[in-house]
Structure 1
Amino acid sequence: MCTTCGCAEGNLYIEGDEHNPHSAFRSAPFAPAARPTLKITGIKTPDFAPSQTTEGDLHYGHGEAGTHAPGMSQRRMLEVEIDVLDKNNRLAERNRARFAAHQQLVLNLVSSPGSGKTTLLTETLMKLKDRVPCAVIEGDQQTVNDAARIRATGTPAIQVNTGKGCHLDAQMIADAAPRLPLDDRGILFIENVGNLVCPASFDLGEKHKVAVLSVTEGEDKPLKYPHMFAAASLMLLNKVDLLPYLNFDVEKCIASAREVNPEIEIILISATSGEGMDQWLVWLEAQRCA
């Protein structure tokens, strides 16, 4: 995971930085990050071997760190991860305190790429328009496409490009949120980078993680990526209008999610047909009032 492999050290770009004379990224938000040439010799690789099943499959998640990186011991990876997450968690608590002071509901939308969360979000914003003040932080590795789609609904949005990074972190939210106009008691939607692994570990200061899973992905996804669904308060089972055309077992998917997280709430939803949208809006209002 990126708490140990360093993939978060990408070329961060937040919309507006190109106008900031102190920004290192103002001249080329899509420029490739510099990659120094390293020559490392004399490093002994710590003894580590993946566990094997009777079928010969390899499992690298059984060590202390729950993952594997060439040239690093399990203990060292664990130390690095604890250090990274500790710093992030302190920043997340500051974000949470700031949001709480303004009674703002903050939701971290997480999913794999192509789950339909941007379309679902735009439809949600249209239904909330003139009812609840909203703002959006959009996370992607590159482009400002999704932020443009959000702004087309009339909702303030800011794009955060993570470069090589595969998730948003608390510092990015601390940098982006103050640039958005959002009234007290409003809703801040954070659409994370499409990734069901790393965003599970990074607290942004949100009240809830909302996992979006589309019926085109397979009903065993919660079992394949358990950390994300364990961290989520709500699962939106999206694109249910496509169920007549797919071999997708809804009950099996729900059972898989609840095997990982017995407390998770689940809403079947479709931005195309409108199914489940009212239930989703009721859930949002309940969280605002909680």
Structure 2
Amino acid sequence: MSWTARSLACLALLPSLALAGGSCERLVATASPDAPPFAWRDPAEPGRLIGASIDILSQVSGELGVKIDVLYTGRRSQALEEARSGRVDLLADAVLNEQDLTRLDYVYPPLAYNEYVPWVRQGANPAYGSLADLAGAQGIVSGKARLTPAFQAFAATHLKLTVAESLSQALRRLAQGEAQYAIAPRYAGAAAVEALGLTGQLVPTEVSVDRPGIYLAIAQDSACNDGWLRGQLAKKMTELAASGGIQAILQRNAERWKLQQQAAGATAKP
């Protein structure tokens, strides 16, 4: 049985249990398997999701006395569909999408903002002081990037972007001179650059081209979706953000992902 089939089978064994007081004693959550440092599959245990979103959700739920079961449910689109349908209670790394407002309740504030910046080759001296300065230059972006609709519309009209299969491929192609810049997240980009051995060759610019929020989102069809849960999650997220705890968790998981990428690269070498 595949990891996806096994995880989906577990969903049937883990129903959401609503308590009389309106709270929930157990929540089932999922997330994208390819969105570091927020969520990704553990290389040592592929049926397990790890990352900043998972750590934040686990910490917050622990403070609320609510048990969380985080399941790998397949690709990003599959994880989103599990939450949309209510088969899981929570999506741990949701990006705000107008179409999903009728099926998901987003918890505010977001657990983090995923800042995208142009990365360039060291010494290229590009005059990128604003988003408009990218027009006319050849760029590259990962096909897995989760960008806002507003930026996607701008890019389609004003930017010359080719699409790479992954963040690592986009950065390698930039280093090889196939593009003048790469649109990549600040956190995940820094970890990938170091893991690829490109430190000192690729550097981020200070232009923030996109900043999508990463949210906890509760399925509207979840039996656990009530005012108490939404209010408590929002309260705990606000407290954690104010304390600087979210930033520390993000940095820790960016380092975790980088070390895993380095280990995978070392294993792959002959």
Tell me, yes or no, whether TM beats 0.5.
no
Higher RCO, 1 or 2 (CA under 8 Å, sep at least 6)? 2
- The normalised TM-score by structure 2 is 0.30
- The normalised TM-score by structure 1 is 0.29
Q: Which has the higher strand share?
A: 2
Q: Which has the higher helix share?
A: 2
